[in-house]
A = this chain, B = another copy of it.
Amino acid sequence: MRTLEWDSTAKRLKMIDQRVLPSKLELISLDTYQSVYQSIKDMAVRGAPAIGVAAAFGIVLAAQQSQAGDVDMLRADLNQAAEVLGASRPTAVNLPWALKRMLGVAGHTYSSTADLRAALLDEAQRMADEDVALNRSMAAYGAELINDGDTIIHHCNTGALATVDWGTALGVIRMAHEQGKHIHVLVDETRPRLQGARLTAWELSQYGIPYDIISDNAAGYFLHTGQVNKVFYGGDRVARNGDVANKIGSYMLALAANANNVPVYSVVPTSTIDMELASGDEIPIEERDQDEVLNIQFQNQPATPKGASARNPAFDVTPHELISGIVTEKGVIYPPFEIHLAKIMQES
């Protein structure tokens, strides 16, 4: 199944609960936009493309919930729901992008609330299907960058679970694997939420791609000792100069790769590119609950003292100078990013 999927019988949004993987593969079923808000905030669903589409279905649910008697009143309810959904997480631009697109559809002329509701469901379904198609297109372009025998460091989770299906950076790796290339993945465990250890390792097992989990700290060692050919990760928001906001730790990984002449690729759909921001300095960085850092057990023993405090920024920005290429559904963009991103975004 897809990571998230509309259940047309029950008229609900079904999704894989990513908080309980890899121990359990459980589905949750959401029938209000408020529960979609909560699922994004709590990271039952995560990954920039996946939360964009989840929010789109949140608007479908808001339309379903609304008691509005006419199209204008329904639009007012949708605007209010979009505001709530948009506040769930600040960094990934796919969330406001998806909401804007849904509200754009709501802005057309409809003869009845039923027509508007139907149009919203169509649009959300289209976005879900498009996401899978875009991912396959990115994967095809990105797979050309991978050689038979490559060892690749991958950060966080960017697979089927981070998208509707297939994945971004992990989708590239999966495509290269399906093309018969022999790849070994060093999976950054990706503290604090361990999306690499929990989710990417689980996905790689399913696909039969050989891997080893490493502590994030170990990436520098493998890069410096010449054991790594490429670094791949996704992206949550790309500024127009090519700065990439991605999961915390991406910046240090990119620094270590650059210091050892290993190329770094960010794989993102163009919906992740935010041409309104001049640089990564303007990207809002979410700081999450300290419990994500503190509530960890090492060999089943508590790993932090009672009363300890923590800081927990969830993303960092990789300056564009450290990025070798940005893989999109329209092709691989190379520096100078400022010029090449503008060109590709004008084409859309």
- Produce 1/0 per residue, A112-148, CB < 8 A to B: 0000000000000000000000000000000000000
| Highest count of chain B CB atoms <10 Å: which of A186, A215, A255 | A215
- Asked if B218 contacts A311 (CB within 8 A), the reply is yes
B308 near A205 (CB under 8 angstroms)? Answer: yes
Contact with B along A182-220 (1 / 0, CB 8 A): 000010011111100110011001000001111111111
Of B197, B253, B255, B312, the contact of A218 (CB 8 Å cutoff): B312
Q: How far is the CA of A118 from the CA of B52 in the complex (A)?
A: 73
A222 to B205, CA, bound (A): 34
Residues of B within 8 A of A316 (CB): 217-218, 220-221, 224
Q: Is A67 an interface residue (CB 8 A)?
A: no
Residues of B with C-beta under 8 A to A310 = 212-214
Q: Is A299 an interface residue, CB under 8 A from the partner? A: yes
Binds B, one of A79-87, A270-278, A289-297, A326-334: A289-297
In the assembled complex, the CB of A256 is this many whole angstroms from the nearest CB of chain B, namely: 5
Which chain B residue lies CB-closest to A202?
A: B305
**A317 adjacent to chain B (CB < 8 Å):** yes
**Nearest CB of B to A34, in Å:** 23
User: Known interface pairs A295-B298, A302-B22, A311-B212. Does A255 touch B217 (Cβ–Cβ under 8 Å)?
Assistant: no
Q: Which of B220, B247, B293 contacts A249 (CB 8 A)?
A: B220
Residue of B197, B216, B248 near A303 (CB, 8 A) is B197
For chain A residues 235-288, which have a beta carbon within 8 Å of chain B? 247-249, 251-253, 255-256, 259, 285
A298 to chain B minimum Cβ distance, whole angstroms, is 5
The answer to whether A348 has its CB under 8 Å from any CB of chain B is: no
Given known contacts A216-B217, A248-B221, is B22 in contact with A197 (CB within 8 Å)? no
Q: How far is the CA of A20 from the CA of B294 in the complex (A)?
A: 17
Query: Judging by beta carbons under 8 Å apart, are A251 and B256 in contact?
Result: yes
Q: Which residue of B lies closest to A285 (CB)?
A: B221
Contact between chains at B249 and A198 (CB < 8 Å) = no
Complex formed: what's the CA distance from A316 to B260 in Å?
14
Partner of A255, one of B222, B255, B298: B255
| Residue from B186, B293, B295 within 8 A of A189 (CB atoms) | B293
Give the CA-CA distance A301 to B23 in the complex, in Å: 7
Contact A220–B255 (Cβ < 8 Å): yes
Is A313 on the interface with B (CB-CB < 8 A)? Answer: yes
**In contact, B298 and A248 (Cβ under 8 angstroms):** no
CA distance A193 to B296 in the complex (A): 12
B304:A201 contact, CB within 8 angstroms:
yes
**Is A8 an interface residue when CB atoms closer than 8 A count as contact?**
no
A300 located at the interface, meaning its Cβ lies under 8 Å from any Cβ of chain B in the complex: yes
* A-B residue pairs in contact (CB < 8 Å), sample of 24: A22-B305, A189-B191, A189-B293, A191-B191, A191-B215, A192-B215, A192-B217, A194-B298, A197-B304, A198-B298, A198-B304, A215-B216, A215-B248, A215-B293, A215-B312, A216-B216, A218-B316, A251-B256, A252-B252, A252-B255, A252-B256, A291-B299, A295-B299, A297-B298
Binding site for B on A (CB under 8 A): 20, 22-23, 186, 189-194, 197-198, 201-202, 205, 211-222, 224, 247-249, 251-253, 255-256, 259, 285, 290-291, 293-313, 315-317
